[in-house]
Amino acid sequence: MSRSTRHDEPPCRTAGPGEEPDRLIGRERKRRDRPAFHAFIERGPVCSNLRRQLQAPFFLSGSRPSQPGWQAEFDCHTRWTSISDVTLGHTLPLRAVERQRLRRASFDANPGLYERTRPGYPAELFDDLERLARLRSDNRVLEIGPGTGQATLPLAERGLAVTAVELSPRMARRCRRNLSGHPRVEVLATGFESWPVEESAYDLVFAASAFHWLPARIAYPRAARALRSDGRLALVWHFRITPDNEFQRELNAVYHATGMRPWRARPPEERIRRQREAILNSARFGPVTICRYPRIRRYLAEEYIDLLRTMSDHAIRPPAVKRRLFAGIRRVFARHGGVFEQPFVAGLLVASKRRTRQLDSP
C-alpha cells in the first residue's frame, strides 16, 4: 500500500548568500540528500482532471542554475514519453503531492499489463460481501477506481447495477470492454473527487485496491453522501507479506544498488488495523467487519518484473534505472530456482453508514 502523503511539505530551496549547502537543516537537507526522483510515465494520455502546472525548484549543490526551474502542463490530449523530456534535471526531488499525482497518472500507461499481472480477488470474498452488505439484485453499487474491472465483474455477475468511476481514461475503456456483456454496468472516466455525487442513491460504495489514493477528508464524506441511510462501505486490499529469507535479502540488495528503497510491507494485521481505524475516525461509518483471505502467488522472473512495471513507484522511474533494477532481479531469480512465492492476505472491510446528521463535505 502506498505510504500516506504529506501535502504540507515546503519546496526545496537553494542556499542563501554566504550559506553553505551543508548548513541546510531539517527536511530541506534530507530532501537534498535523498536519491534522485525522476518522474516517468509510460506512453499514454494523462486525464484532464489531473491537469496541473508542475513546478520543481532546482536544487543543485546549493547554487542557482541559470534557469529558475521547469514547468509542464498536462491535459487529456498530451502524451509524454517521460517527464524528463521537459528537463527534470539531475537530482531533483519532487514534492510529495506532485509525486503522488504522477504515481496516480502512471496507471494510465498499460491497462493490459495491469490486468494480466495484478492478482484478482477470491470468489469467497464476494460471497461474504453479498452477505455482510445484504445485497440484492435490485441494489445499486458505486465502485471507486475499478481499474480494468477485476472486481467489477463479480459484482455484475450477481446482477447488481454498478456505476464505476475510474480516473484513468485507458483503464475506463478497458473496463467498459470487459463489462460489455453487462448492460447494468456504467463506467465513467473521471475522478471520484470531482464527480458530482448523486446523494442517497446507492446501497453500497465499493473500492478494491483504490481507496488509499483518495484524501480521507474528501473520500469518506463523499462516500457517505452517496449512500442510502442503510447503505454500506466495502473496501478491499491485497496486503503483501515480506518474506524473511535469502531471496528477499538479495532483492533488497538489488534495490539498494540501483538507488531505490527496498519494498518493505508492514504486517497485514497492522495495516488492516490502520484501515479499520481510518474508517472509524471518519465518523461516517461503523462498526467495521473484517474478513481475511490468505493466499500465495507464484511468479517466474518475467512475471514478477511485469508486476513491478505496473507498480506506480516503479513506473515513474526513468528507463535506465528500471533496466538496472530488472536485470538484477533476473539474476536473483536465476540463483534461486527461477520461482518466487509471494504470500499475501486479501482483506475485506465492511462498515455501515452511521445514522447521524450529515456534515458539510467537499
Q: What is the arithmetic mean of pLDDT over 191-217?
A: 93
pLDDT of residue 110: 67
Distance CA 305, CA 347 (A): 24
Q: What is the arithmetic mean of pLDDT over 283-289?
A: 97
The structural domains of the chain, with segments of one domain joined by +, span 21-109, 115-242+266-296+343-353
CB-based contacts of 224: which residues, under 8 Å, 6+ apart?
A: 233, 282, 284, 285, 353, 354, 358, 361
Q: Is the pLDDT of residue 177 over 80?
A: yes
pLDDT of residue 333: 97
Give the pairing of strands 53-57 and 185-189.
unpaired
pLDDT of residue 357: 54
Q: Is the pLDDT of residue 121 over 80?
A: yes
> Who wins on pLDDT, 62 or 200?
200
Q: Is the pLDDT of residue 7 over 50?
A: no
Distance CA 32, CA 96 (A): 14
pTM of the model: 0.70
Distance CA 21, CA 28 (A): 10
Distance CA 299, CA 290 (A): 28
Termini Cα distance of the chain: 25
pLDDT band at 66 (very low <50, low <70, confident <90, very high): very low
Distance CA 161, CA 145 (A): 16
- What values do phi and psi take at 142, rounded to 5? -105, 115
Pick from 279, 274, 188, 289: nearest CA to 239: 274
Q: Is the pLDDT of residue 274 over 90?
A: yes
- pLDDT of 83-113, one tens digit each? 332 223 333 344 555 555 665 555 556 677 7
Q: Which CATH number fits domain 115-242+266-296+343-353: 3.40.50.150, 3.20.20.140, 3.40.50.261, 3.40.50.720?
A: 3.40.50.150
pLDDT of residue 100: 54
pLDDT band at 271 (very low <50, low <70, confident <90, very high): very high
pLDDT of residue 261: 83
pLDDT of residue 270: 95
Q: What is the arithmetic mean of pLDDT over 260-277?
A: 89
Lowest mean pLDDT among 20-29, 136-145, 215-224, 274-283: 20-29
Give the pairing of strands 161-166 and 185-189.
parallel
pLDDT band at 56 (very low <50, low <70, confident <90, very high): very low
Q: What is the arithmetic mean of pLDDT over 311-318?
A: 74
- The label of the residue with cell 472491510 reads 349
pLDDT of residue 309: 84
pLDDT of residue 328: 96
CB-based contacts of 206: which residues, under 8 Å, 6+ apart?
A: 129, 141, 142, 143, 144, 151, 155, 233, 234, 235, 236
Lowest mean pLDDT among 24-38, 68-82, 269-283: 68-82
pLDDT of residue 269: 95
- Taking a C-beta distance cutoff of 8 angstroms, is the pair 286, 352 a contact? yes
